[in-house]
Structure 1
Amino acid sequence: MTPAILLVKKAGVPHDVLSYVHDPKAASYGLEAADALELDPSSVFKTLVVDVDGVGLACAVVPVSGMLNLKAMADALGGRRTTMADQQAAERATGYIVGGISPLAQKRPLPVVLDETAILYERIHVSAGRRGLELALHADDLLMLTRGILAPIARD
């Protein structure tokens, strides 16, 4: 049981926990999850830890089928520039390892920006806090639990 799963259970949020056998040789954690669980990659969201000028570390939650628009992420949080965070800094701040970083129940809660395409799906899938575990939940519940915002931060 991960902190992310415990949080959604405690909050009484409708969800499902999906698991698969993680392959350490997988090139992309998110695409591996989508493939292993036979999910539409557009409904599976990866959590990227970024450093936004003027804000600090934050989480960008975007579909695994796309990429993060760094400028749009800065705009969403009122910053000027965004860079990808150092892996060690991301792991230290969230308490999760890369490939298993969840936007939920982080060690030090970071601002969360969820790509606007999330509202197109009945449920989206995000890391449950460990490689090989995904949480399926409604985008509105994710935003409520993380106090996140919805913004157009993804690009193809």
Structure 2
Amino acid sequence: MASQDSASTPAVAALIAADVTYTLHPYEHDPSSELSYGDEAAHALRAAPERVFKTLCVKADDALHLAIVPVAGSLDLKAVARALGVKKAIMADPDDAERVTGYVLGGISPVGGRKKLPAIIDSSAFDHDQIYVSGGRRGLDIELAPADLVAVTDAASAPIAKDA
């Protein structure tokens, strides 16, 4: 576990409070990069895109949810709807996502948000011992075990990603 001095974001503070083992991976975010935030993180961290997960905010039955998928693919909204047991899921309005989570786009973490949203993680996360998720700001990722992420977020798991 990282030291308490590194509780630089609510996500890190939440992991410290939950006594979860993690490693912080800061990198220099390039605002002029043409890469997506997730691809930029994978490239900067020299990590396989299958191990770097992006956190997306979706709306289903007028409720917001977090969908956590590898940056190597994209979110399958029909699969999310099936996993949630609803007819339809759509991407949440970016302003709503930022307001509810307390994080900016490109830095939305599945951990430590302003409001704890129900989360669902792509089942491919369990193909890896460790995965990366946003640390709560652009330029900071957290490496942790998928089971620890599920434990701290109460996330469900389902195949919700599709190839890009």
TM-score (norm 2): 0.93
132 and 37 in structure 1: CA distance in 2 versus 1, 3 angstrom threshold = same
- In structure 2, the residue matched to 1:118 is 125
- In structure 1, the residue matched to 2:15 is 8
- Structure 1 position 100 matched with structure 2 position 83: no
What are the residue-to-residue correspondences of 1:121-140 with 2, within 5 Å? 121-140=128-147
Q: Which runs of no fewer than 5 residues in structure 1 stay unpaired?
A: none
- Of residues 49, 54, 75, the one that matches 1:46 is 54
User: In the aligned structure 2, how far is the partner of 1:102 from the partner of 1:45?
Assistant: 10
SS at match of 1:96: coil
Higher mean C-alpha deviation, range 5-14 or range 29-38? 5-14
- Of residues 78, 88, 108, the one that matches 1:81 is 88
- Of residues 44, 61, 69, the one that matches 1:62 is 69
Q: Where has structure 1 moved over 3 Å in runs of 4 or more? A: none
SS at match of 1:129: strand
Aligned pair count reads 155
User: In the aligned structure 2, how far is the partner of 1:89 from the partner of 1:50?
Assistant: 10
SS at match of 2:50: helix
| Paired residue type of 2:129 | E
CA RMSD of aligned residues (A): 0.8
